[in-house]
């Protein structure tokens, strides 16, 4: 009979990551279920505690209870720890603890880190983790300091510091949780600060840095020395910039005269709000306008942005901007009648194109399935259901107001979508697949009509 150690040794990296995330989620649920975690001292219903734990570990930010008024400081700290673990990855955090204790990182652990960080090679993975931690804590620290100084103008320094730290960690990790419910009223979020340029700029910077990924950060920081960016960084920065500008332009045009969103704002405020919603739609989860008050065209456009998501190796979700770039490249290649997908004068391998197509189709099937299921269990508009489902899958956290009205089965379904979205459909597929076979032969080529 196999021992637990032997079973763990033979466990594939994707399966290990899936079980690891699930274990932390269950532990977080247990802590949030305790009476000490709530402001009232009454235990939170199990489903709500589980939903919140999943939302935190998947860095989504969807909530069924108001964070600022329902949870005590203990509960908020538990959520913040889950957000940090979910954003950096529990293996990254475990590696940091091991390095602090001067423990050697085994080959198997390096393989799991390689899978968790989405890297093609295992070489230098431990050094990469060191830099990830340094950069993450540095950015969060700077963000916390700037936010503390901003909030100090309207509250005592200790309260401003606590709020600044919480919001910096939450926003950089693209989680979207906020504590403003205890200040301006339940579920008010950042709406009160929609016209505050300082807070908007800080938040957009944190969301952007958390969403481009650590690999891109390293490349940009090293650029003055080597004068060269990797193909990955070029694609991420280009596609991200285009999506932000196009998203802001579309929202500016569609919502310009909408009295529920941009209508009452001045011209500069409309521009700022449009850019903020465009940036946050790809995984940020915080909003300065009423998402439910948007035009349906704007809501559907945001669904597309949420589906694309952030960059690989980042704190964001979605199918990722690189996947989107490869798909667009494949479409252009087919239209032009060429053979290879080329991005920035680099040929993309067929295996990467297959992976991009597989990931996108699996994601679409997952969204279609859960949207249909929720349409049967929830009494709400289909667009709101689709919006909520894509928001959960993309670990975005934006909501049209459906989350607080979900049935018990609906909460479980959305929680499952959040978990799958953070883990990734491909990682889950590899985790469920016991073995990966190599073809020993090739079948004869067949002809099939397309289009």
Q: What is the pLDDT along the chain (451 residues), one digit of tens a residue?
A: 445 444 444 555 666 667 778 888 999 999 999 999 999 899 999 999 999 999 999 888 899 999 989 999 999 999 999 998 888 765 565 555 555 555 565 555 555 555 555 555 555 566 667 777 888 889 999 999 999 999 998 889 999 999 999 999 999 988 889 888 888 778 888 888 888 999 999 999 999 998 888 888 888 888 888 888 888 899 999 999 999 999 999 999 999 999 999 999 999 999 999 999 999 998 788 888 889 899 999 999 999 999 998 888 777 788 999 999 999 999 999 998 888 899 998 999 888 898 899 889 989 999 999 999 999 999 889 999 999 999 999 989 898 888 889 999 999 999 999 988 887 765 655 555 555 556 677 778 777 776 6
HSE-CB at 113 with a 13 A cutoff on CA atoms is: 23
Residues 6+ apart with CB under 8 A from 105: 95, 98, 99, 113, 126
Q: Name 8's Cβ contacts closer than 8 Å, sequence gap at least 6.
A: 16
Q: What is the domain partition of the chain in residue ranges?
A: 8-431
For 339, counting Cβ atoms within 10 Å of its Cβ (0-12 exposed, 13-18 middle, 19+ buried), the class is: exposed
Q: Report how far residue 339's alpha carbon sits from residue 347's, in angstroms, rounded to the nearest whole number.
A: 10
- How long a stretch of residues is the chain? 451
| Exposure class string for 222-231: b at 16+ Cβ within 10 A, else e | eeeeeeebee
* Whole-angstrom distance, CA of residue 86 vs CA of residue 60: 10
The SS3 call for residue 446 is: coil
SS3 of the chain: helix, strand, coil, percent, to 5:
65, 0, 30
Token pair 């009452």: residue: 264
Which residues does 17 contact at the CB level (< 8 Å), separation at least 6? 91, 112, 115, 116, 423, 427, 431
The answer to whether residues 360 and 321 touch, using CB atoms and an 8 Å cutoff, is: no
Q: What is the pLDDT of residue 13?
A: 60
Cα 228 off chain centre by:
28
Instruction: Supply 310's token pair.
Output: 């952030």
Helix, strand, or coil (residue 342): strand
- DSSP one-letter string for 233-252: HHHHHHHHHHHHHHHHHHHH
**Rounded CA Rg of the chain:** 22
Distance between CA atoms of 392 and 307, rounded to whole angstroms?
10
pTM score, whole prediction? 0.88
Cα distance between residue 284 and residue 60, in whole Å? 8
Asked if 283 contacts 305 with a C-beta cutoff of 8 angstroms, the reply is no
CA–CA gap between residue 271 and residue 253 (Å, rounded): 10
């Amino acid at each position: 009979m196999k021992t637990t150690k032997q079973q763990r040794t033979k466990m594939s990296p994707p399966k290990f990551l899936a079980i690891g995330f699930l274990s932390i989620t269950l532990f977080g649920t247990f802590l949030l279920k305790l009476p000490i975690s709530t402001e009232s001292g009454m235990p939170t219903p199990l489903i709500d505690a589980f939903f919140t734990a999943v939302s935190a570990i998947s860095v989504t930010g969807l909530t069924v209870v108001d964070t600022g008024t329902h949870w005590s400081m203990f509960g908020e700290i538990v959520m913040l720890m889950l957000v940090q673990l979910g954003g950096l990855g529990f293996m990254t955090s475990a590696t940091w603890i091991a390095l602090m204790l001067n423990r050697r990182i085994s080959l198997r652990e390096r393989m799991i880190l390689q899978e968790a960080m989405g890297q093609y090679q295992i070489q230098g993975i431990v050094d990469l983790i060191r830099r990830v931690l340094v950069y993450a804590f540095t950015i969060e620290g700077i963000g916390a300091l700037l936010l503390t100084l901003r909030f100090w103008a309207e509250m005592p320094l200790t309260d401003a510091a606590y709020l600044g730290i919480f919001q910096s960690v939450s926003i950089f990790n693209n989680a979207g949780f906020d504590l403003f419910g205890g200040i301006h009223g339940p579920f008010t979020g950042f709406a009160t600060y929609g016209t505050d340029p300082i807070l908007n700029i800080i938040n957009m910077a944190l969301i952007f840095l958390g969403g481009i990924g650590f690999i891109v950060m390293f490349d940009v920081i090293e650029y003055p020395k080597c004068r060269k960016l990797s193909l990955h960084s070029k694609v991420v920065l280009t596609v991200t910039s285009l999506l932000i500008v196009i998203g802001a332009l579309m929202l500016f045009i569609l919502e310009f005269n909408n009295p529920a969103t941009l209508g009452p704002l001045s011209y500069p405020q409309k521009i700022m709000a449009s850019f903020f919603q465009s940036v946050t739609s790809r995984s940020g989860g915080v909003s300065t306008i009423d998402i439910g008050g948007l035009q349906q065209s704007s809501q559907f456009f945001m669904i597309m942005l949420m589906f694309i998501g952030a960059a690989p190796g980042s704190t964001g979700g979605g199918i990722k901007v690189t996947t989107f770039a490869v798909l667009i490249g494949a479409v252009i290649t087919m239209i032009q009648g060429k053979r290879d997908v080329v991005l920035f004068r680099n040929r993309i391998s067929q295996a990467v194109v297959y992976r991009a197509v597989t990931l996108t189709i699996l994601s679409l099937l997952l969204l279609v399935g859960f949207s249909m299921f929720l349409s049967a269990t929830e009494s709400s508009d289909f667009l709101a259901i689709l919006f909520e489902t894509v928001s959960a899958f993309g670990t975005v956290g934006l909501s049209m107001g459906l989350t607080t009205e979900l049935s018990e089965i609906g909460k479980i379904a959305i929680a499952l979508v959040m978990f799958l979205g953070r883990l990734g459909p491909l990682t889950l597929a590899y985790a469920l697949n016991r073995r990966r076979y190599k073809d020993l032969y090739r079948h004869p080529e067949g002809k099939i009509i397309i289009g």
